């Protein structure tokens, strides 16, 4: 389940959760699987015994197995979303681990990595244990968690990074609150190197960060040439700083939701110099521009904000050429009331929250806007949604092989459908793509050998 469980512990947990007899078998017939040796999709059968893949090939027969014919469908390793906000504990009115996991399964994701900005934040071993225990009881997908870099995510005192790693954290992050103090960030990267844990900064400016910096007697960092600091434009400056600190420490750096052309250039240069850096992009930063935000309204208010068309093209190119390694949703649920506020505060009313939801739309948007136009090949897109994020975050996921955990996403690449937030499993509805026509959909999600979603419906147990 979570990182506190080893693979040997995973099987009995899955079997108990879904009431699967240890001998239960499932035979997936005639689905298309990408063959690395031939670089082609070829029909294959997959025999699942309990929670693992027992056999993979052609013409598999097993009288004890339940057979599912997947002719015409793509069989992919279970999709992995390395950037989600499930809000529990403390903000359950937006989303819970249970509802977020159901949204993940509906979107074809078998594994997710949660951000630590709950209330209170995930900043000590007991809080990691708490969220993983909630997930163990309520989630139908594999749930991992990041932990905060500083206590209370206040940017002042480092957490016990080694203890958080030991308790099951797969990365450390301040979510949207960048660490303004360069010495503190340097120390965090040194400690992460010692603990062998990934550092995943969000190189953006939260409202909390901006207000905190304004209270300081000195000018805020990262001033532009004209002596101003434009709101929510410091992304590339933070990335530049963190790359320099990563060079000094030898730590592992993963940059969340890249949105600027300048950021792509910095990451490309760092990779060419051998810096241990990876990066992600979101569907909304690959598709939408700042002009779209004006038309859509507050459901397109996100941090980092939607950028220019030139930035969108640069992020796309970075994803295509491998500078940006993976795609993640940054699923950030908010209530209707929080998104119906004005874009900016006025007359004391407050302002709309930053963030949008994406677990149930990410795959379709990638297939429609990246694969269908030929910008990404289908195997390349699936890798960026499964094997590569699993590798970056050190997860037992992203593979279809004999002996591996049977986490599988079945995709109908031709299915045309309209995004309808009223049908979402997420508790929230803040999606800027509502009403869009898309092509390609996950039609079955299998977690640990158990079918948890079929044709858009969440189910528990065998078919």
Nearest to 395 by CA among 47, 99, 110, 12: 110
In the set 124, 330, 383, 407, the catalytic residue is 330
Distance between CA atoms of 384 and 115, rounded to whole angstroms?
Answer: 19
Q: Which residues contact 374 (CB under 8 A, 6 or more apart)?
A: none
The answer to whether 330 is a known catalytic residue is yes
Q: How far is residue 75's CA from residue 400's CA, in Å, rounded to a whole number?
A: 9
The span from the CA of 139 to the CA of 445, in Å, is 14
Q: Which residues of 410-441 are buried (b: 16+ CB within 10 A; e: fewer)?
A: bbbeebeeebebeebbbbbbbbbbbebebbbb
19 exposure class (CB count in 10 Å sphere: 0-12, 13-18, 19+)? exposed
Selection from 144, 136, 139 nearest residue 83 by Cα: 144
Q: How far apart are the first and last CA of the chain?
A: 22
Question: Is 68 within 8 Å of 420 (Cβ atoms)?
Answer: no
Active-site residues, by number, are 330
């Amino acid at each position: 389940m979570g990182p506190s469980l080893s693979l040997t512990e995973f099987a009995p947990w899955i079997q108990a959760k879904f009431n699967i007899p240890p001998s239960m078998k499932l035979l997936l017939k005639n689905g298309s699987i990408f063959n690395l040796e031939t670089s082609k999709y070829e029909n294959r059968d997959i025999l699942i015994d309990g929670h693992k893949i027992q056999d993979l090939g052609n013409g598999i027969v097993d009288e004890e197995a339940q057979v599912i014919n997947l002719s015409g469908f793509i069989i992919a390793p279970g999709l992995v979303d390395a950037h989600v906000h499930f809000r529990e504990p403390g903000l359950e009115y937006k989303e819970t681990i249970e509802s977020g996991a159901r949204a993940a399964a509906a979107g074809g994701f078998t594994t997710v990595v949660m951000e630590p900005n709950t209330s209170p934040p995930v900043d000590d071993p007991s809080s990691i244990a708490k969220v993983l225990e909630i997930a163990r009881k309520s989630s139908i997908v594999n749930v991992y968690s990041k932990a905060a870099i500083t206590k209370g995510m206040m940017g002042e005192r480092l957490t016990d990074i080694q203890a958080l790693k030991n308790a099951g954290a797969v990365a450390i992050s301040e979510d949207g609150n960048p660490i303004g103090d360069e010495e503190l960030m340097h120390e965090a990267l040194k400690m992460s190197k010692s603990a062998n844990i990934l550092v995943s900064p969000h190189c953006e400016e939260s409202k909390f960060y901006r207000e905190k910096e304004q209270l300081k007697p000195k000018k805020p960092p990262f001033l532009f040439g004209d002596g101003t600091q434009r709101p929510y434009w410091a992304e590339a400056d933070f990335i530049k700083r963190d790359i320099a600190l990563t060079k000094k420490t030898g730590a592992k750096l993963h940059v969340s939701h890249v949105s600027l052309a300048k950021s792509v250039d910095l990451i490309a240069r760092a990779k060419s110099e051998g810096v241990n850096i990876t990066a992600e992009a979101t569907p909304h930063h690959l598709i939408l521009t700042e002009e779209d935000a004006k038309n859509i309204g507050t459901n397109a208010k996100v941090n980092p904000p939607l950028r220019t068309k030139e930035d969108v093209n640069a992020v796309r190119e970075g994803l295509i050429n491998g500078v940006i390694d993976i795609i993640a949703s940054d699923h950030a649920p908010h209530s209707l009331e929080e998104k119906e506020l004005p874009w900016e505060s006025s007359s004391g009313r407050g302002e709309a929250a930053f963030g949008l939801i994406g677990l149930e739309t990410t795959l379709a948007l990638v297939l429609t806007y990246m694969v269908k136009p030929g910008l990404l090949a289908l195997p390349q897109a699936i890798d960026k949604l499964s094997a590569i994020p699993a590798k970056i975050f050190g997860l037992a996921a992203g593979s279809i092989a004999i002996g591996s955990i049977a986490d599988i996403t079945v995709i109908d690449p031709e299915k045309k459908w309209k995004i309808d937030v009223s049908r979402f499993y997420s508790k929230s509805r803040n999606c800027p793509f509502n009403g869009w026509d898309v092509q390609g959909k996950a039609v079955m999600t299998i977690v640990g050998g158990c079918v948890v979603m079929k044709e858009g419906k969440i189910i528990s147990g065998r078919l």
